[in-house]
């Protein structure tokens, strides 16, 4: 392994890392919004919308991100809708992640014991306050491990963005390997930057989970 090659490649990988991070977290933010909205629709069984959300969840959970990227980036221009690569990556990641987040939030909502709802209603608590003060905090606490796992999964899925010519980490590594054949150095930097991106999420998720469970149950 040539340390001088690694040093010379660092600026390129740093730039690619920042782009990957930017698109990844924008996609995750969109995924959380879509997931929460979808979970509420499914939990409250809102007419018409529930069927659409179920179709959306099943469609995006059962198709690869790469196909979704190709459809948005290459397919939509055929009908006159042209989307920049960065926006395409964000939207595709958000739609894929939203389908997973929806199930995570929904399972958290449904895991809250119904007896707590009955007890709160017996005390005269309104439905709105019951949901915000009793159900939602517990549902989020229960959902934290699944949400963190989904975030890590989505950040790793950014590796397919190179397919639409985004200068992300994977594209940079493949480009340098193809041009200069520095395979070991490029792959080493690729792994290091993905670890830098993913490890803090894993650690932060564990800390948040413990704190939320302690605040909810006091243990």
Closest CA to 58 of 70, 42, 74, 72: 42
| Distance from C-alpha of 120 to C-alpha of 16, rounded to nearest angstrom | 51
pLDDT confidence of residue 25: 94
Average pLDDT score over the chain: 87
Reported as a pLDDT band with limits 50, 70 and 90, residue 188 is very high
CA–CA gap between residue 172 and residue 99 (Å, rounded): 29
Report the b/e string of 205-219 with b at 16+ CB within 10 A.
beebbeebeeeeeee
Q: Where are the beta strands (DSSP E) in the chain?
A: none
Q: Are 158 and 171 in contact (CB under 8 A)?
A: no
For 124-173, what is each residue's pLDDT tens digit? 777 777 777 778 888 888 888 899 999 999 999 998 988 888 888 999 99
What per-residue confidence (pLDDT) applies to 28?
Answer: 95
What is the model's pTM?
Answer: 0.88
Domains of the chain: 25-166+208-217 (1.10.3720.10)
pLDDT band at 23 (very low <50, low <70, confident <90, very high): very high
**H-helix or E-strand containing 169?**
helix 169-180
């Amino acid at each position: 392994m040539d340390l001088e090659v690694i040093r010379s490649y660092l600026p390129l990988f740093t730039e690619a890392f920042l782009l990957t991070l930017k698109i990844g977290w924008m996609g995750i933010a969109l995924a959380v919004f879509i997931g929460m909205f979808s979970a509420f629709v499914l939990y409250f069984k809102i007419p018409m919308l529930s069927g659409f959300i179920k179709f959306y969840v099943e469609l995006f959970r059962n198709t690869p991100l790469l196909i979704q990227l190709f459809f948005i980036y290459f397919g939509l221009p055929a009908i006159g809708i042209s989307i920049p690569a960065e926006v395409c990556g964000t939207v595709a990641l958000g739609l894929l992640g939203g389908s997973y987040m929806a199930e995570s939030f929904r399972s958290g909502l449904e895991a809250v014991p119904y007896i707590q709802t009955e007890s709160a209603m017996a005390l005269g608590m309104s439905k709105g306050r019951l949901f915000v003060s009793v159900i939602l905090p517990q549902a989020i606490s229960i959902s934290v491990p699944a949400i963190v796992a989904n975030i890590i999964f989505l950040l790793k899925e950014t590796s397919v963005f190179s397919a639409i010519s985004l200068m992300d980490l994977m594209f940079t590594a493949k480009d340098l390997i193809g041009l200069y054949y520095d395979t070991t150095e490029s792959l080493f930097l690729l792994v290091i930057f993905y670890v830098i991106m993913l490890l803090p999420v894993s650690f932060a998720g564990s800390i948040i989970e413990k704190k939320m469970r302690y605040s909810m149950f006091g243990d």
